[in-house]
Amino acid sequence: MRKSHPVRRVVLATAATVSGVVLLLSLKPSSDPTAAAAGTAPQQAAGARQSPQGATRPAGAAGGTVTGDATQTQYGTVQVRLTVAGGKIAKAEAVQAPKGGLSDQKTAMAVPKLNQEAVAAQSAQIDAVSGATYTSNGYKKSLQSALDRMKSAAAPAPSASSPAASGARSGSGAAQARSVTVTGKVAQTQYGPVQVRITMSGGRITQASAVQAPKGGLSDQKTAMAVPKLNQEAVAAGTAHIDTVSGATYTSTGYRQSLQSALDQAGG
Amino acid sequence: MSTTLAGGRAARRQTMRRIRPRRSPAVPLLLAVWAGAAAVLWLWWHNTPSVADDTGRILNAGRITGLLAGYLMALVVLQMARVPALERRVGSDRVSRWHAMSGRYTLCLIVAHVFLTMWGYARQAGKSLNDIVQQTIDSINQLPDVGKAAIGTGLFVLIGLTSIGPVRRRMPYDTWYHVHLLTYAAVFLTYWHQLTTGNDFAVQPMAKTFWYGLYGTVTALVLWYRVLTPIRLNLKHRMRVEAVIEETPGIVSVLIGGRKLHRMGAEAGQFFRWRFLAPGMRFSSHPYSLSAAPRPDMLRITVKAIGDHSERLRELTPGTRVWAEGPYGAMTAQRRSRGKVLLVAGGVGITPMRALFETLPGAAGDITLLYRANTTQDLALWDELAKIADERGARLMYAVNSPEGERPDISAESLERKIPDIERHDVFMCGPAGFAQSVYEALRGAGVPARRIHHESFEM
């Protein structure tokens, strides 16, 4: 039987908890360390302004970049970006790869190999890196979608006057000669990242698409419902002042943020 | 009228047992609890590559508090699952203090988790702290299982409010108890959102398995020890009130008959939670210590009429069915080390001491009982204590107020004078909180080490 000191105990418990949480949070890096570790460009690079030629004729002779679909794996998202030159893959890199704990090591080990293999094979028929099966499979899927995009962009656009944008499927048809494809920054939402890519032509948005949107469970439905509307709204409004799709508030907010950053890049 | 309940052969045999001190498993259990908490924090650490800005910090603080609250919530329920290792080895009193302490802490974590998460979401949506209420409503409407979790959180807050000292004291025990039972509903309601919206469980199948395992184990233990074990015990022993006897003014003994009662595993110093199936008493159970070593056909509890429930015990009629849960309590012979024993009883605290006095292993002269009461009339069970003292060669002392109402002197000096080798005794103590505190200080003053003072206290 000991004397109890309730006040002291409350103060101690509060102080210990608060300082523990603050310590844990401050020990975490503020930017993602694995983006560099994986040998990939940081995500902002994806949003960097791309050269007009490259963007308008990604699969053409001049080259450009094509980003594949973000593929979900058990350990995280994999997304491949190809630099195309002369109709061939000049460079492959992962803009997203699994992160955290063991995944960091695996990503660091597997991604450079997969990048090399992709360039060597010029197709998605590449070997899985042993010990990183999930990442390899995700990589292959994303690579395949990037290759599809590269080809589809090349096929319906034989003439230089129809600059279909990379990543965008529905071409807006006639467009001005100088159009620019810009990818906005990734906006984190409660349900997952949202990233918007727009094609600007003559100072107007001719196309908008989401290269990333929340996935999994309920999110799939919401994304399927909201993203097409948001794309339309963005094209119609020409600005980031678009209405929220009801039932998908977070996705809409993330979309607006990413759209705004894309517009900023295109404008500045 | 008073009774004399002789223990008979069984009790005499117990006095000859070898003394086998057993350690309380409290330390390894606490280590396991801390290890679990570390694992939960590691889960967050592992799944969080970076924390970007203030919004990220707020959201992640919300995640940490949420994970810890989810973990502790399972333990808070586990502490009340009446697991024998906790009730009989660590001690029911200590476990219920843990329960109260960790319950309060968990409630604080839940509140912090809700606040931080909603604030973080509001910031994410580009709103300020003032919109936190609207944000909460939106989240309840939009996120899976968060509506349920909100109801559960409301219940937790209600349970917390009714358990605040002054509120609880003003409330009938039964009301408080039944509100407290809502904990199970609250835990169930808040469980699901942890899995469906929790980041860490979405990406880590292992974490999900661990969480199912934790909550599944606790559920199984609650069902087994709070539901099935008592049913089996009562079907087997079929207890009924045999007689109610007034020992001294205000103190009654209830004799309870049944089948093979010595097979219930009860030891002297332990208690059962009793529920008498009589009108007005069947909905709540109360802990009362055995006041004699269990006999094959008879148990006895001795109770001071202080509350509603104990007042009604007087009116119990023979033949009333009794539902008992137990035995619980760790203040038994296993607590002592090899040496002499001093038992200190204050008032009706004599009940477990009476049973220990009869059965504690020890030779003549090893056992001493000090019995404090207001007057000699209040010395309940005195006759049988005298008889046991006689048979065992044990010392029996009493301390009562002087005829002028002056309190007897129980101090380090007086204890040392009466028991010269007191520092070599194990002390078992039972009595009101104030009395126990002053005796504890006197004993420490007389050189008894704290680890050899055994006391059960149900004060929170």
- CATH number for the domain spanning A232: value is 3.90.1010.20
| Domain assignment of residue A149, given as a range | 34-154
pLDDT category, A217, cuts 50, 70, 90? low
Q: Do A130 and A191 share a domain, yes or no?
A: no
Report residue A100's pLDDT band, with 50, 70 and 90 as the boundaries: low
- B354 pLDDT band (50/70/90 cuts)? very high
Whether A216 maps to a domain, the answer reads yes
Instruction: Mark whether A82 and A150 lie in a shared domain.
Output: yes
Best residue of A21, A26, A102, A104 to probe chain B, by most B CBs closer than 10 Å = A21
Per-residue exposure over A58-90, b if at least 16 CB sit within 10 Å of its own CB, e if not = bbbebbbbbbbbbbebebbbbbbbbbbeeeebe
Span B261-316, pLDDT tens digits: 988 989 899 999 999 998 888 888 888 999 998 888 999 999 987 777 778 888 89
Condensed to tens digits (0 to 9), the pLDDT of residues A52-84 reads 333 333 343 346 788 888 877 767 788 898 888
Instruction: Evaluate if residue B451 carries a pLDDT over 90.
Output: no
For the record, the structure tokens of B314 come out as 């007087």
Chains A, B: CB contacts within 8 A come to: 74
- Give whole-number Cα distances, A50 to A165, A199, A212, in Å: 12, 11, 18
At residue A229, the 3 state secondary structure works out as: helix
Contact A2 B450 (CB under 8 A): yes
Q: Is B399 left (phi over 0), alpha (psi -120 to 50) or beta?
A: beta
- The H or E element containing residue B166 is helix B165-169
Structural domain total, chain A:
2
Alpha carbon distances (Å) from A142 to A54, A67, A153: 20, 8, 16
* A101 in B contact zone (CB under 8 Å): yes
More confident residue, A176 or A125: A125
- Cβ–Cβ contact A223 with B under 8 A: no
Residue in B closest to A74 by C-alpha: B203
Residue B67 CA to residue A24 CA, distance in Å, equals: 14
Residue A228 has what pLDDT? 86
User: Which of B57, B143, B450 is facing A25, going by the closest CB pair?
Assistant: B57
Q: Give the mean model confidence (pLDDT) for residues B180-208.
A: 87
- Its CATH class, for the domain covering B334-455, is alpha beta
Which residues on chain B are in Cβ contact (under 8 Å) with A32? 49-50
> For A206, phi and psi rounded to 5 degrees?
-95, -25
Nearest residue in B to A72, CA atom: B203
pTM: 0.68
A31 touches chain B (CB under 8 A): yes
- Domain residue ranges of chain B, discontinuous segments joined by +: 26-232, 334-455
For chain A, the average pLDDT equals 74
Structure ipTM: 0.80
How is residue B370 annotated by DSSP? E
Region A47-56 average pLDDT: 35
Domain stops at, among A121, A154, A187: A154
Pairwise CB contact (< 8 Å): B48 & A31: no
Residues A65 and A114 placed together within one structural domain of the fold = yes
Q: Select the residue of B51, B126, B202 nearest A28 (Cβ to Cβ).
A: B51
Can you tell me the distance from the alpha carbon of A26 to that of B50, in angstroms, rounded to the nearest whole number?
10
Asked if residue B21 has a cis previous peptide bond (ω within 30° of 0), the answer is no
Residue A121 belongs to some domain of the structure? yes
Is there a contact between B163 and B180 (Cβ–Cβ < 8 Å)? yes
* CATH number for the domain that contains residue A123: 3.90.1010
Chain B residues close to A194, C-beta within 8 Å: none
> Which of B41, B45, B125 is nearest residue A250 as measured by Cβ atoms?
B125
Q: How far is B46 from chain A (nearest CA, A)?
A: 5
pLDDT for A158-170, tens place per residue? 443 333 333 333 3
- Whether A114 is covered by a domain: the verdict is yes
Domain assignment present for residue A201? The answer is: yes
Which residues touch B306 (CB under 8 Å, ≥6 apart)?
none
Residues in A closer than 8 angstroms to B71, CB to CB, are none
Q: Distance of CA B55 to CAs A5, B86, B95, B121, Å?
A: 36, 42, 39, 8
Q: Is B64–A21 a contact, with Cβ atoms under 8 angstroms apart?
A: yes
With a CB-CB cutoff of 8 Å, which residues 45-74 of chain A face chain B? Answer: 74
Q: Which helix (H) or strand (E) segment is A211 a member of?
A: strand A204-212
Mean pLDDT for chain B overall: 88
Q: Parallel, antiparallel, or unpaired for β B239-248 and B251-257?
A: antiparallel
End of a domain among A154, A170, A192?
A: A154
Locate the chain A residue with the closest alpha carbon to B69. A17
Distance CA B384, CA A119 (A): 96
**CA-based nearest distance B60→chain A, Å:** 7
Q: Which residues of chain B neighbour A218 with C-beta distances below 8 Å? A: 144
Q: CA B383, CA B132: separation in Å to the nearest integer? A: 69
Amino acid at A150: M
Q: Which fold has domain B26-232?
A: Four Helix Bundle (Hemerythrin (Met), subunit A) (1.20.120)
Q: Do A223 and A126 share a domain, yes or no?
A: no
Query: In this structure, which amino acid lies at residue A72?
Result: Q
Lowest mean pLDDT among A129-138, A161-170, A201-210, B302-311: A161-170
